[in-house]
């Protein structure tokens, strides 16, 4: 089963330099994934449901997309477990003047089917038919890996980012940023909880503000580490999306983004962590060339620890890319 969405990129989709926001692309990716997974989960007779986003694997932004180009988003179901669906999405940008197309994004998303009658009830997923036995085995390995990582990250980063008065430039406190958003009906699914794509777009906006404050240049999203959705966000909640820089290399910045939900109309539910992720940004010149990034100055022990953890993730991904390049060569 496969599906495709297409949309022309408008000025309100992009930054001042004309590059489409990473959050806009992430939102389109999630919409395509939600459509195909919901269709699949309702392909057999039984209780009707809607597919809710549970996790997005690491997503690399391979090439920038610009105003006036057409985004073609194609989604395909590649694996199903008893209660989840894996969807792989590819994004192509098309210059409609020349007909030139290029791959801009590849992403893997995981969805779970939630009953329309009871939002807390997870339904069983109809099995997908594989063309080869190896596809099912490889999918099962990916499923077990993401399940383990979700468990490890669920209670990580439980702290709240606090503002600091008169911070010094290039410190964590100097660029850290927060956005407060009241969840309305237009943000929500039929269930009355927030679309995963809406949350990801807000997360990318905050991460972009942090990156721009730090380097004072045009910035673009380079990649997004796995986004974990720990809990649903319901209509009427006030959500706080907070971002802080954790690591800088010579030409990239890692920003941690945390989403906390506050059910202000429900005294029985306390504020909770709804989602978390790491975004990587790069700084660009007016000509679109990569620029050196001002080095982050961690001050507290926690900031120094997060810096070293970010450095480990950076080196691990760098080694992985080098290994892939050598394999292809």
| Residues facing 14 on adjacent strands | 20
Long-range CB contacts (< 8 A, 24+ apart) of 310-317? 310/246, 310/247, 310/254, 310/278, 311/247, 313/225, 313/247, 313/254, 313/278, 314/247, 314/249, 314/252, 314/254, 317/223
Radius of gyration of the chain (CA): 20
Going from the C-alpha of 184 to that of each of 205, 235, 237, 258, 279, the distances in angstroms are: 18, 6, 8, 20, 26
Spatial separation of the C-alpha atoms in residues 67 and 9, rounded to whole Å: 5
Compute CA distances 244 → 21, 44, 161, 320, whole Å: 19, 45, 8, 25
> Hey, which residues are catalytic here?
15, 204
SS3 141: helix
Kindly give, in sequence order, each residue whose CB lies less than 8 Å from that of residue 105, ignoring residues fewer than 6 positions away.
25, 29, 59, 60, 61, 62, 89, 90, 91
CA atoms within 13 A on the CB side of 135: 10
């Amino acid at each position: 089963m496969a599906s495709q969405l297409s949309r022309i990129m408008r000025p309100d989709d992009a930054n001042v330099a004309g590059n489409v926001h990473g959050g806009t692309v992430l939102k389109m990716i999630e919409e395509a994934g939600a459509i195909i997974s919901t269709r699949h989960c309702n392909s057999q007779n039984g209780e009707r449901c809607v597919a809710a986003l549970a996790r997005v694997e690491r997503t690399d932004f391979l090439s920038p997309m610009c105003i006036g180009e057409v985004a073609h988003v194609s989604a395909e179901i590649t694996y199903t477990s008893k209660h989840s669906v894996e969807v792989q999405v590819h994004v192509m940008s098309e210059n409609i003047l020349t007909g030139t197309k290029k791959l801009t994004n590849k992403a893997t998303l995981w969805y779970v089917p939630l009953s329309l009658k009871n939002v807390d009830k997870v339904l069983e997923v109809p099995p997908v038919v594989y063309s080869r036995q190896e596809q099912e085995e490889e999918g099962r390995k990916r499923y077990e890996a993401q399940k383990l990582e979700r468990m490890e990250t669920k209670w990580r980063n439980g702290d709240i980012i606090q503002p600091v008065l008169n911070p010094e430039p290039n410190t964590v406190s100097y660029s850290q940023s927060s956005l407060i958003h009241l969840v309305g009906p237009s943000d929500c699914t039929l269930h009355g909880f927030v679309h995963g794509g809406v949350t990801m777009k807000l997360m990318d906006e905050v991460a972009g503000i942090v990156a721009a404050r730090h380097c004072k240049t045009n910035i673009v999203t380079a990649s997004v580490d796995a986004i974990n959705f720990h809990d649903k966000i319901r209509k009427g909640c006030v959500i706080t999306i907070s971002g802080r820089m954790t690591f800088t290399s010579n030409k990239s910045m890692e920003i941690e983004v945390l989403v906390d939900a506050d059910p202000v109309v429900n005294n029985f539910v306390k504020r909770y962590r709804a989602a978390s992720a790491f975004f990587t940004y790069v700084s660009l010149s007016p000509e679109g060339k990569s620029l050196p990034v001002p080095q982050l100055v961690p001050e507290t022990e926690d900031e120094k620890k997060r810096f070293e953890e970010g450095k480990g993730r950076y080196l691990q991904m760098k080694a992985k890319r080098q290994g892939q390049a050598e394999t292809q060569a």
